[in-house]
Amino acid sequence: MLRLPLHSGSRLPVVPLPDDAVLLAAPPPLDSLADVGAAVVDALRYPLAGEPLAELVPRGGRATIVVEPPSLPLPTVQDDPRRDALAAVLAELDRHGIVPERTTLLVASGLARRAGRRGLEALLRPERARAFRGRVVVHDCEADDLRTLEVAGRRVRVHPALLDADLALTIGAGETVLHGGATALVGACAPGTIRAARAVSLLEVAGASGWRLAAALEAELSRTVPLMGLSLVLDHPRATGLYRGYPWRREALDAGRRSPLRRLLNAAPAVLRRRVLAGARRELTAVAAFAGPPSVAHAEALVRGTAVRSVAVEQPFETIVVPLPWEGLHLPREPLNPITAAALGLGHVLRLWRERPPLAEGGTVVLLHPFSRVMGHGPQAPYLALFAALRDGARTRELAKVEAHAARDRRAIAAYRGGAAPHPRLPFADWETCATLLERAGSVIVAGCRDAGAARALGLVPSHNAATALEMAEGLSGPRARTGVILGPPYPPLVVGAT
């Protein structure tokens, strides 16, 4: 029997797995760009389509650069190559006649908590941030000054900085169909538009209404403002130091299993465990840079990134094990509550696929997480209304009414606008990402669950430990069922059944 250390919140327990379990880990590190800035300059000079940056820049004009909070990839890294890409774009704009004083950085955070000073400082390296003399604006999706556009037959309200500029650029990475490129423009819209951005798979355009909406918004904006996008292909975040190679090297997994530091970490208080894990050193490198119309650059980066970072799987699994860390998808990182834990495992990790879903119809998902009910105050408070509705058995139509009521909560909106909490509609968006997987799965078991009531409120099955959960999964799927274990974070994309 395999025994491997896997994440379960802020702990790293040793989990017994079937001998024939298929371990799905990120591939080894990729060859990185020696100079991200130089690659960005070349991409801007030779875009995939459209005119180069030099032809789009009006000398003495105004530019708006749209960036998203670097919430992906997970986990957080200390040195992000997107900072070098942004610095290179600013230098190119200055060289072509747009001075920093006439440049606006628009942080399109969607429904997530609005970035504070620390989040904004992370956009550029300290020396470059001190020298920047432009304007930094964090999008407020509830602002009164949003402008209205007609996009694909619907009224869309967007940030005025996108229309008041002589040139608009998007800078990001091709992580999913809903992050980066033209979809960053959707993050600078009103709440209703942001909520309309959906996807069945996070790596395929087919079935992604969010991609179609973003493309239509890009086309409408380009009638008024020249648009250009820059998308990086990023490698997975890689651990450095003592556990270099975790989780893609078997030697690192064995070292973690035997390590006395792991046992000390598991016995430490939760606050200390989170601090240690948050401070762990990781490196993130860029593999390629593409420029052109935002949707074109983003699509190319997404396809290239999936090709070089993915794991090929012959056929779907009857049982999939998904270890979950302590931190959520949104910035600033907060401990996972039952809803965000489900959204991370079911709505993110198990939607990172191409060709076919990795879970067989009626299969079983095992989530490794304590499911502690940490919501109730501060940034976690907006999740209470949704949790109460789910606990009372609310269905889709009833949840829509609860969401509409939450969206009118003046105190919740004030907390969002002040940067103290996410938008009150974010919990409903998080939970909605789980819908496709919940319909496909026969059962979702929470292994190591510390709050059985919370799991049952979400329609999930609590289990005391991983061994019991896997026995339950075997009973549901049969002894010959194929078991896949997605090692992470970082979580690899899965290409299932490709010929």
Query: In this predicted model, what pLDDT tens digit does every residue of 380-408 receive, in sequence order?
Result: 999 999 999 999 988 878 999 999 999 99
Range of the domain at 381: 2-27+245-280+310-496
Same domain, yes or no: 393 and 468: yes
Same domain, yes or no: 161 and 195: yes
What is the rounded CA–CA span in Å between residue 254 and residue 93?
A: 49
Residue at 475 is within a domain:
yes
- pLDDT for 499 beyond 70: no
Give the bridge partners for 323, in sequence order: 368
Percentage above 70 pLDDT, the chain: 100
User: Residue 433: what pLDDT?
Assistant: 96
DSSP conformational letter for 242:
G
Residue at 288 is within a domain:
no
- pLDDT for 413 beyond 60: yes
Same domain, yes or no: 196 and 179: yes
What is the rounded CA–CA span in Å between residue 108 and residue 118?
A: 16
Same domain, yes or no: 482 and 409: yes
Mean pLDDT to the nearest integer, 22-28? 93
Q: pLDDT by residue (tens digit) across 106-134?
A: 999 999 999 887 788 888 988 888 888 89
Residue at 285 is within a domain:
no
Name the strand (E) or helix (H) holding 23.
strand 22-24
Q: What is the mean pLDDT of the chain?
A: 93
- pLDDT for 152 beyond 80: yes
Q: pLDDT by residue (tens digit) across 155-197?
A: 999 999 999 999 999 999 999 999 999 999 999 999 999 999 9
Other CB atoms within 10 A of residue 101 CB: 10
Same domain, yes or no: 196 and 78: yes
Nearest to 486 by CA among 244, 274, 321, 343: 321
Same domain, yes or no: 329 and 453: yes
Q: What are phi and psi of 176, to 5 degrees?
A: -145, 175
User: Residue 301: what pLDDT?
Assistant: 97
Nearest to 386 by CA among 430, 335, 331: 430
Same domain, yes or no: 358 and 273: yes
User: Residue 277: what pLDDT?
Assistant: 84
Residue at 294 is within a domain:
no
pLDDT band for position 494 (cuts 50, 70, 90): very high
The reported pTM is 0.95
What is the rounded CA–CA span in Å between residue 161 and residue 147?
A: 9
Q: What are phi and psi of 494, to 5 degrees?
A: -120, 125
Same domain, yes or no: 373 and 273: yes
Q: Which residue has the higher pLDDT, 253 or 109?
A: 109
Same domain, yes or no: 8 and 92: no
Q: Quote the number of domains for the chain.
A: 2
Q: What is the dihedral of CA 210, 214, 220, 221, to 10 degrees?
A: 140
Percentage above 90 pLDDT, the chain: 78
- pLDDT for 498 beyond 70: no
Same domain, yes or no: 213 and 272: no
- pLDDT for 100 beyond 70: yes
Residue at 415 is within a domain:
yes
Same domain, yes or no: 172 and 251: no
Residue at 386 is within a domain:
yes
Least confident of 211-215, 255-259, 369-373: 255-259
Residue at 337 is within a domain:
yes
Q: What is the CATH number of the domain that holds 367?
A: 3.90.226.30
Residue at 197 is within a domain:
yes
* 8 A C-beta contact, residue 248 and residue 238: no
